[in-house]
């Protein structure tokens, strides 16, 4: 799964911020992501398009920070695509996130 | 404020972004504090001490646009440089940020090297602005400086209702002849400091220093709630300050100082006069001439503070005054009612 992460971007992040700090940052993302997803699902259930867009935007930004490009692309599609008719796209994003976080942790810890 | 070691505020509702930006800024040698939304950021900024703001756009409570709008409307905050960091797409967002006064715009994820360059550039611009502001304030008083910085400089003026004060030291020539030049300059500096403080405390602006005298305006360039009352209160405080100074001088065996103050209220033409290269903020008109005449008349009237009828009427009995009757001043077609502010024998 580490293949879905852009090693160059991740390496630049480690170089700029420090490898130890990036471990903490990935852990923070792992802690924060469930909240972002809860917001995404709640906004979808409520039909709140702007809230939905913001939650997807946050996920996209964080994914891109770590070079998790596949996650970033899917989150961007949700951000710009408006409220989806059902939760399938959200479920797909969730699955991708669930696979991405362990990969990021693995990369961060070398 | 040096380019390094500045104090920055990072504002972002996303914890990962906030931590990473704060880390980058810290690694550059700056102090950093963080806020998770625009409302908290404004509260922190109003407590003061920040040199630069790194601001996200998409935030709950107050978003980045709203923060910049509030910064622009607040004279105390509008000079703080703002670097926007956002991953919002489209040129419209960037344009709006620049229009609202952002110094720079960086896309997320923010490149650390680019961030460092932009922070350095913004801090340098702020340093130059602060330097310019300090220079203007040194030579133009803080009120005129604020007017200049807010409205810009243009020669010309406008008619405004204001109260004008003239003040000078009685018998200054005798004092000068009895002491050395260093002591005279020191005395003048002390006197000016005391007078400036009393005038500024009431919202007045000293716009001319003329040897042992000065001219001050209340109500221009910045508005004052009640210019006549403010001017009279300032004059009373000036007389009180001279009393304290005289106590000190007496203990050193030095002669007492006395001042005369003339105050008049009415229309004046206020603005910047001179040339594009060298100009001063001043005001002219009958009211100015009358205030100067009243100040000169304090010697003859043996009173410390003299005011005209318009100033007296505006006081509405809140400051005790004594009517001295009508006086015919040189250059005035009609005699002018003159009042002495009570408890002010020749100061």
Mean pLDDT of B298-305: 93
* Residue A36 or residue B205, greater confidence: A36
Query: Which tokens is B126 given?
Result: 């702020």
pLDDT at B130: 82
Mean pLDDT of B39-50: 95
Residue-range domain boundaries for chain B: 7-135, 153-341
Give the three-state DSSP class for B116.
Answer: helix
A18-33 tens-digit pLDDT: 999 999 999 999 999 9
Q: Which residue of B has its CA nearest to A68?
A: B109
B27 touches A: beta carbon within 8 Å: yes
pLDDT at B347: 44
Contacts of A57 in chain B (CB under 8 A): 58, 87-88
Cβ proximity of B280 and B272 under 8 Å: yes
Helix (H) or strand (E) holding B98: helix B91-99
- pLDDT confidence tier of residue B29, bands split at 50, 70 and 90: very high
Chains A–B, number of C-beta pairs less than 8 Å apart: 51
Neighbours of B331 (CB within 10 A): 9
| CATH code of the domain made up of B153-341 | 3.30.70.1230
pLDDT at B279: 63
Mean pLDDT of B87-96: 86
Cβ proximity of B218 and B203 under 8 Å: yes
- Beta bridge pairs of residue B8: B32, B52
Q: Average model confidence (pLDDT) for chain A? A: 94
Q: Ranked by mean pLDDT, which of A68-82, B117-131, B166-180 comes out on top? A: A68-82
Cβ proximity of B31 and B19 under 8 Å: no
- pLDDT confidence tier of residue A7, bands split at 50, 70 and 90: very high
Given a cut of 70, whether residue B300 has pLDDT beyond it is yes
- Dist CA B188 CA B165 (whole Å): 18
A81 touches B: beta carbon within 8 Å: no
Given a cut of 50, whether residue B35 has pLDDT beyond it is yes
pLDDT at B142: 63
With 0-12 CB in 10 A as exposed, 13-18 as middle and 19+ as buried, what is A22? buried
Residue-range domain boundaries for chain A: 2-108
Q: What long-range pairs does A48-53 form, CB within 8 A, spacing at least 24?
A: A49/A82, A49/A83, A52/A78, A52/A83, A53/A79, A53/A80, A53/A82
- Dist CA B329 CA A72 (whole Å): 83
Cβ proximity of A49 and A67 under 8 Å: no
- Beta bridge pairs of residue B323: B339
B176-200 tens-digit pLDDT: 777 888 888 888 888 888 998 899 8
Given a cut of 80, whether residue B277 has pLDDT beyond it is no
pLDDT at A3: 67
Mean pLDDT of A78-85: 94
Mean pLDDT of A85-102: 95
| CATH code of the domain made up of A2-108 | 1.20.120.160
Q: Which residue of B has its CA nearest to A50?
A: B58
Q: Which residue of A has its CA nearest to B14?
A: A58
Whether A80 and B20 lie within 8 Å, measured CB to CB = no
Q: Tell me how far CA of residue B138 lies from CA of A83, B133, B186, B275, in angstroms.
A: 59, 9, 18, 20
Architecture of domain B7-135: 3-Layer(aba) Sandwich (3.40)
- Dist CA A36 CA A53 (whole Å): 11
Q: Which residue of A has its CA nearest to B57?
A: A54
Contacts of A21 in chain B (CB under 8 A): 23
Mean pLDDT of A35-60: 95
Radius of gyration over alpha carbons of chain A, in Å? Answer: 14
Query: Which tokens is A45 given?
Result: 């259930």
Q: Average model confidence (pLDDT) for chain B? A: 87
- The percent of residues in chain B predicted with pLDDT above 90, rounded, is 53
- Dist CA B142 CA B151 (whole Å): 14
Report how far Cα B193 is from the mean position of its chain's Cα atoms.
15
- pLDDT confidence tier of residue B148, bands split at 50, 70 and 90: low
- pLDDT confidence tier of residue B276, bands split at 50, 70 and 90: low
Given a cut of 50, whether residue B1 has pLDDT beyond it is no
- pLDDT confidence tier of residue B139, bands split at 50, 70 and 90: low
Closest partner CB to A64 (pick from B23, B27, B87): B87
pLDDT at B232: 97
Rounded to two decimals, what is the model's pTM? 0.60
Whether B16 and A29 lie within 8 Å, measured CB to CB = yes
pLDDT at B3: 46
* Residue B135 or residue A60, greater confidence: A60
* Residue B5 or residue B33, greater confidence: B33
B117 touches A: beta carbon within 8 Å: no
Cβ proximity of B68 and B82 under 8 Å: yes
Given a cut of 90, whether residue A91 has pLDDT beyond it is yes
Tracing tokens 């993302």 back to the chain, one arrives at A29
Rounded to 10 degrees, the C-alpha dihedral A23/A29/A34/A36 comes to 180
Mean pLDDT of B135-154: 62
- pLDDT confidence tier of residue B346, bands split at 50, 70 and 90: very low
Mean pLDDT of B123-151: 70
Q: How many residues does chain B have?
A: 347
């Amino acid at each position: 799964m580490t293949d879905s992460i852009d090693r160059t971007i991740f390496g630049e992040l480690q170089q700029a911020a420090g490898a130890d700090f990036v471990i903490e940052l990935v852990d923070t993302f792992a802690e924060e992501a469930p909240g972002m997803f809860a917001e995404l699902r709640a906004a979808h259930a409520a039909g709140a398009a702007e809230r939905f867009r913001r939650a997807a935007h946050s996920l996209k930004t964080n994914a891109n920070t770590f070079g998790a490009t596949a996650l970033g692309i899917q989150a961007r599609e949700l951000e710009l695509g408006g409220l989806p008719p059902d939760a399938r796209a959200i479920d797909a994003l969730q699955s991708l996130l669930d696979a991405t976080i362990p990969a990021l942790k693995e990369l961060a810890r070398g | 404020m040096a380019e390094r070691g500045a104090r920055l505020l990072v504002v972002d509702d996303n914890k990962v972004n906030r931590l990473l930006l704060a880390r980058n800024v810290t690694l550059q040698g700056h102090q950093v504090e963080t806020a998770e939304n625009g409302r908290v950021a404004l509260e922190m900024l109003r407590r003061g001490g920040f040199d630069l703001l790194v601001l996200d756009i998409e935030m709950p409570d107050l978003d980045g646009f709203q923060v910049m709008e509030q910064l622009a409307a607040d004279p105390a905050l509008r000079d703080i440089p703002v670097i926007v960091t956002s991953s919002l797409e489209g040129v419209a967002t960037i344009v709006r940020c620049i229009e609202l006064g952002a110094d720079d715009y960086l896309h997320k994820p923010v490149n650390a090297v680019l961030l460092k360059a932009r922070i350095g550039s913004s801090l340098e611009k702020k340093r130059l602005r602060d330097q310019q502001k300090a220079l203007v304030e040194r030579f133009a008083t803080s009120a005129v400086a604020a007017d200049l910085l807010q409205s810009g400089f243009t020669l010309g003026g406008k008619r405004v209702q204001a109260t004008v004060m003239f003040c000078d030291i009685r018998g200054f020539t005798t004092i000068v002849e009895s002491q050395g030049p260093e002591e005279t300059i020191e005395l003048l500096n002390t006197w000016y400091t005391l007078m400036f403080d009393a005038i500024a405390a009431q919202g007045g602006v000293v716009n001319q220093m003329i040897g042992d005298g000065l001219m001050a305006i209340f109500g221009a360039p910045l508005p004052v709630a009640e210019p006549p009352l403010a001017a009279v209160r300032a004059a009373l405080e000036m007389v009180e300050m001279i009393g304290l100074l005289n106590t000190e001088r007496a203990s050193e065996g030095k002669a007492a100082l006395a001042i005369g103050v003339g105050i008049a209220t009415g229309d004046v033409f206020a603005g910047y006069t001179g040339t594009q290269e060298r100009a001063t903020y001043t005001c002219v008109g009958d009211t100015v001439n009358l205030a100067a005449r009243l100040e000169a008349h304090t010697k003859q009237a043996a009173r410390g503070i003299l005011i005209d009828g318009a100033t007296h009427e505006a006081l509405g009995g809140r400051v005790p005054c004594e009517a001295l009757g009508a006086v015919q001043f040189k250059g005035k077609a009609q005699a002018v009612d003159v009042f002495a502010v009570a408890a002010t024998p020749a100061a």
